[in-house]
Structure 1
Amino acid sequence: MKTTFKEIAHKSPEWTNAVKLREKILREPLGSIFTDQELEEEKYHFQIAGFIDDMIIATAVLVPEADVMKMQRVVVTETLRGMNIGSEMMVFCEKFAIDRKSKLIYCHARDSAVNFYIKNGYEGMGDYFDEDGIPHLKMKKNSS
């Protein structure tokens, strides 16, 4: 099973499937869904998806902010976790950001994902904070 990563277009069928995957993993456990406004704002962001054959199995959103990129809404299908797909997606997203002249990539990592980001070379910035009722830590990785 080889995973391929690529940018997908906002409002495309692939994007719709990516949103469903993110919503299932990130929002449904919290009893919420993405708002129309949140999804409309994504037209200004880069949509990244990982595929096995034609099925989306991983996704992330990159938000350009001057010379840095915020990575958010990062998910891998539950049944495929632990197979290095998330780390492969990090490499793709980091190269994508560097290719667009970003000097830094950062995220707000859920407490449960902090060790994943550390394993991938990210470092914490500051203290934990509450976002959506979940402890998060701002984490960064400098472009090199």
Structure 2
Amino acid sequence: MGEMVTADRTGVFVADTDGERDDAFTVRQSVFVDEQGVDQDLEYDEYDEPGADATHFVAYAEGEPIGAARLRSASDVDLPPGSSDRSVGKVERVAVAADRRGNGWGRRLMDAVETHAREVRFDLLTLHAQTHVRGFYERFGYEAHGEEFEEAGIPHVAMNKTLDGGG
């Protein structure tokens, strides 16, 4: 039997149940498809399928889903020189509902993602940041590399962060 999300549940959680994953997808739909105009076929991919090798995160405020993120192995991404022998994770689909931005939810999501990444022994994280939120990721120690590029019709920049063993 699936876990019910209680009305007072607040925080960031690994989306272990179908309901929690659906809640994460609801936030992504609202932010990326409805708000930013990303084509639904581009927003959802093979890493969203049940059983895919990806970890989904969902943020709740008083039981309402208000944030989402995804972490997966990044064997398929371009890495900076000297990184080929590292265990690399890719942070994707980080989203916070429009009416909840500026209240620390993005930080809480990234803290949860990075904690999990350390637990599964990733030592480098990579992501494609929309250029207008580049500064958000820089505050967490991510460094941009390469030229700006377009993804889903939106300007992005590739960023990396080396994880230490601590929290």
TM-score, normalised with respect to structure 1: 0.88
User: Taking structure 1 as reference, are residues 81 and 70 closer, same or farther at Cα in structure 2, changes over 3 Å only?
Assistant: same
| Residue number in structure 2 paired with 1:24 | 30
Higher helix share: 1
- The CA deviation at 1:9 is 2.7
CA deviation after TM superposition for structure 1 residue 32, in Å:
2.1
Report the equivalent of 1:55.
Answer: 64
RMSD over aligned Cα, in angstroms?
2.2
The one-letter code of the counterpart of 1:21 is V
**Are 1:132 and 2:152 an aligned pair?**
yes
Identity %: 26
Give the C-alpha shift of residue 93 in structure 1: 0.7
TM-score by length of 2: 0.77
| Residues 3 and 112 of structure 1, relative CA distance in 2, 3 Å threshold | farther
Q: Structure 1 stretch 98-107 or stretch 25-34: which is displaced more? A: 25-34
Residue 45 of structure 1 pairs with residue 65 of structure 2: no
Runs of 5+ consecutive residues of structure 2 not aligned to the other structure:
1-7, 76-86
Question: 1:23, 1:34 within 8 Å by CA — same for their partners in 2?
Answer: no
State how far apart, in whole Å, the 1-side matches of 2:51 and 2:152 are.
Answer: 19
Pick from 83, 103, 106: which aligns with 1:86? 106
Of Structure 1 and Structure 2, the greater strand share is in: 1
User: Highest CA radius of gyration, 1 or 2?
Assistant: 2
